[in-house]
Amino acid sequence: MCGFREIILCGLMVLAPIARAADPLPIFDAHVHYSQEAWERMPPKEAIALLRKAGVTRALVSSTNDDGNQKLFAEAPDLILPSLRTYRTRSDMGTWFRDEGVATYLQERLKKYRYAAIGEFHVYGADVDAPVARLVVQLAKQYKLFLHAHTDVDGVERIFRQDPAARVLWAHSGFERPEKVREMLRKHKSLWSDLAFRNDHAASGKLDADWRAAFMEFPDRFMVGTDTYTAERWHYVVEHANWSRGWMTDLPRDVAERIAYKNGNAVFGSMLKP
Amino acid sequence: MTKWKKNLLVGAVVAGALAPWLTGVTEANEPGIIEFNPAEVSRILSHGPWPMNWSPDPSNRVSGSTHAVDLGERLFFDEKLSVKENVSCGTCHVAEYNWTDGVKRNQGQAMVDRNTPTLMNMRHHRWFALDGAADSLWAQSMRPIVDPRELASNATHVAQYVRKDADLSCRYEKTFGVSPAKQDDETVLVGVGKVMAAFQETLVTEFTPFDQFRDALARGDKAAAALYPRDAKRGLQIFVGKGNCSTCHTGPMFTNGEFHDVGVSHFIDGDSKKVDGGRHDGIKKLMASKFNLLGPYNDDTTRATAIKTTHVKPEHRNFGEFKVPSLRNVGYTGPYMHSGEMLTLDQVVRHYSDLNVDRLHADGESLLKPLKLTQRESADLVAFLQSLNMDRAPPWRGKEYANPPCVLNARAAADDTYAP
């Protein structure tokens, strides 16, 4: 039974979980770019401040070229998980998978710096079997890194044929329908999906039924991401985090927490520890 | 006959009608003659005829009313609508500048963030303002009145002014059939928006050299088509062909009326701490506005006009998108782009020629690629764009009225004879 002091204590104990539930969800942002225009316009301190303002507790970040990434990592190693992009300049986007110069660049960076992943890179279908794309899959295996792949279903299949043990974060879930994403997640146990630059899973804080089924079937395999592909988009990080929190209220709290940050922490959390 | 067979037959008849014209136009062996293939001809014809048909806006019960047009024009140029009585809508929307202002960004009570859009042909648009924050011309017409940077006014000030001015009050009653004294402030403000919209609906660009060519093409008049300058023809070929310009700048209005990211910086005034969210912010403003077409001020009892608004939702891609402008009279609407950062059409063409793909999402505007135009091709494209201008700049319009003072009488409704 509660006396007066106990009543207060009991009340606090009852209220504590409610207060926790009402706290804004931390966000693991799995899709951030900090490319040259961004770092020229927004120094690392400002960029980190924006991430923290959004409640982003960790972020998988890549930049073109990689120098921006390193600047950001140096500023906040507790927050930033660098991912090595396969582009020295954006013009490499359509050709990198055949470019020996990119191969040399990647090998040099991997020797010099620490990363959590290679990507986000764009490559589709049969180009995944091109020489430099193959090398990237092998480098990921050698350095125990994730592959952050902006690719199609065929591309995902080809990566896993090259290395069945590869760990792949599928950028934008391939812009595939939820049924296909579920099919791929069922088939490949080391495939995760990011939801960056997609709106089809939720509108006005409500989940699409097919996507809800995907999240409920694979609560451990999805992550959110802002995709800051221009400098201006850094000002969208807060908006995106809040939007994500909005639709996640339509999920059971434990599933929401996993997609918001726990999956990212579970998968990448042990990487790049000092 | 099945529907697809009918379509096939109609297509064959149209192609047959065009065939002689095509062989006639092409005259490929003659130097300097521009050859248009059937796909190009089809695209060219889709940019007319001009002017387009129009019917009054059902969401605005005074759309098309002569009384509303008259009152709307007076209020449009009336600085007393602003709290400081120093700015009117006509301050930034100047007739001789094609109802814009010729400057990068303008100032009311303070500097605004965007270039002033033209008011020409507004009656054919679906969304209003560069971010589409309004879904009707009348709702858009109210926004600068209450924007602190522009007229900085409010419903009370506007309503009191219209009520106290006997002539305006009379014209208001003539238009709406009710005295502004009998309406609340907000209703009067909406009424002001609606008469201003009625006025703006009368602003329509005239026939252009391009229209002459397009119509000549449609009727197979080679002599008339030959009058269209060769550089404009070459530019038109780029516009409907490798430039892919006509994919967004569609139809007789040369706009699809929607919103796109064309890789233009949307930091405000170059300040890295301030960003213009464009269409994303516009949708949020639209949905939050009680003056949208879902609200109580929509006069369309069927609510058919509001269907578009029920379907609009902000998406990530909308961040940094701005409305595709109409290109009619484009030679008179510079500076260009949402922020007015490009002073000339040459600069605009250069932007698309040297497009910075770093600024575009890989799965976003997939049509946009650097056009890599030669100097001559760029000049040709500009020549074509200039052929979308009326032959004369729009004539002066301002706050001088010959009309006699307003008198209310029983014939007011019968006098309302505006025919669009």
Q: Is A27 helix (H, G, I), strand (E, B) or coil?
A: strand
Task: State the average pLDDT over residues A165-194.
Answer: 98
Looking at residue B360, its pLDDT comes to 84
Average pLDDT over residues A91-110: 95
User: Could you give the CA distance from residue B215 to residue B204 in angstroms, rounded to a whole number?
Assistant: 19
CA of B158: how far to CAs of A131, B148, B183, in Å? 70, 14, 12
Does residue B313 belong to the interface with chain A, where contact is any CB pair within 8 Å?
Answer: yes
- C-alpha span between A249 and A247 (Å, rounded): 5
Query: Is the pLDDT assigned to residue A205 strictly greater than 90?
Result: no
**Relative orientation angle of helices B345-353 and B375-386, to the nearest 10 degrees:** 130
| Cβ pair B272:A233 closer than 8 A | no
Task: Using an 8 Å CB-CB cutoff, list chain B residues near A235.
Answer: 275, 277
Put simply, whether A230 touches B (Cβ < 8 Å) is yes
Residues A103, B177: Cα–Cα separation, whole Å: 77
**Which residue among B280, B315, B363 sits closest to A172, beta carbon to beta carbon?**
B363
| Residues of chain A contacting B315 with CB distance shorter than 8 Å | 199
How do residues A173-186 score in pLDDT, each as one tens digit?
999 999 999 999 99
Chain B CB within 8 Å of residue A147 CB: no
Mutation site, A124, A232, A237, interface B, largest B CB count within 10 A: A232
Residues A37, B320: C-beta atoms closer than 8 Å: no
State yes or no: cis peptide before B115, omega within 30 of 0.
no
Q: What is the three-class DSSP state of A83?
A: strand
A124 lies within 8 A of chain B by CB: no
Which pLDDT tens digits describe chain B residue by residue (420 residues)?
333 333 433 333 333 344 333 433 443 334 445 789 999 999 999 999 999 999 999 999 999 999 999 999 999 999 999 999 999 999 999 999 999 999 999 999 999 999 999 999 999 999 999 999 999 999 999 999 999 999 999 999 999 999 999 999 999 999 999 999 999 999 999 999 999 999 999 999 999 999 999 999 999 999 999 999 999 999 999 999 999 999 999 999 999 999 999 999 999 998 999 999 999 999 999 999 999 999 999 999 999 999 999 999 999 999 999 999 999 999 999 999 999 999 999 999 999 999 988 888 877 667 888 999 999 999 999 999 999 999 888 887 876 666 778 888 766 666 676 545
Ordered domains of chain A (ranges, CATH): 27-268 (3.20.20.140)
CB count, 10 Å around CB of B112?
17
User: Per-residue pLDDT for A136 more than 90?
Assistant: yes
ipTM entry: 0.88
Cis peptide bond N-terminal to B186, omega within 30: no
Flag if A35 and B320 touch (Cβ within 8 Å).
no
* Cα–Cα dist B81/B62, whole Å: 20
- Chain A residue with minimum CA distance to B370: A91
The reply to whether residue B358 touches residue A231, judged by beta carbons under 8 angstroms, is no
DSSP A64: S
Per the model's pLDDT, the better-predicted residue between B28 and A3 turns out to be A3
Distances in whole angstroms, Cα of residue B150 to Cα of each of A196, A252, B113, B263: 37, 47, 11, 28
Our measurement of the distance from residue B150's CA atom to the centroid of its chain's CA atoms, rounded to an integer in Å, reads 20
| Beta carbons of B265 and A232 less than 8 Å apart | yes
Q: How many CB atoms lie within 10 A of CB B103?
A: 14
pLDDT at B418: 57
Q: Which residues of A touch B266 (CB under 8 A)?
A: 232
Q: Which residues of A touch B366 (CB under 8 A)?
A: none
A46: chain B residues, CB-CB within 8 Å: 272
CA closest to A38 among chain B residues: B272
d(CA A139, CA B45): 55
pLDDT at residue B2, rounded to an integer? 38
Query: CB distance A172–B265 less than 8 Å?
Result: no
As a whole number, the mean pLDDT across chain A is 92
Does the distance separating the beta carbons of A240 and B361 come in below 8 Å? no
B358–A37: do the CB atoms touch at under 8 Å? Answer: yes
Q: Judge whether A160 and A188 are in contact, CB under 8 Å.
A: yes
Among the partner residues B266, B313, B316, nearest to A232 by beta-carbon distance: B266
Cα B262 to its chain centre, rounded Å, is 18
Q: Are strands A56-62 and A80-84 parallel, antiparallel or unpaired?
A: parallel
Domains of chain B by range and CATH? 18-47+207-276+325-389 (1.10.760.10), 54-204+279-319+405-420 (1.10.760.10)
Q: Which of B315, B319, B362 sits opposite A233 (nearest CB)?
A: B319
Contacts A–B by Cβ distance under 8 A: 54
User: Within 13 Å, how many C-alpha atoms sit on residue A37's CB side?
Assistant: 20
Contact assessment for residue A90 and residue A33, using Cβ atoms and an 8 Å cutoff: no
Question: Tokens representing A39?
Answer: 């770092």
Q: Strand A80-84 to strand A117-122: parallel, antiparallel, or no bridges (unpaired)? A: parallel
The minimal CB distance from B313 to the residues A37, A203, A230 is found for A203
List CB contacts (< 8 A) between A41 and chain B. Answer: 267, 272
Chain A neighbors of B361, CB-CB under 8 A: 197, 227, 229
Q: Is A29 helix (H, G, I), strand (E, B) or coil?
A: strand
The C-alpha atoms of residue B406 and residue B180 are separated, in whole angstroms, by: 15
- Looking at per-residue pLDDT, the higher value among A8 and A55 belongs to A55
3-state secondary structure of B262: coil
Residues of A in contact with B321 (CB under 8 A): none
**The pair of three-digit structure tokens given for residue A41, joined into one six-digit string:** 């316009």
The structure tokens 């130097």 sit at B31
* Two structure tokens written together for A59: 């972020």
Residues in A closer than 8 angstroms to B271, CB to CB, are none
Which amino acid would we find at residue B146?
Answer: V
d(CA B389, CA B261): 25
- The pLDDT assigned to B30 comes to 44
Q: What is the pLDDT of residue B361?
A: 84
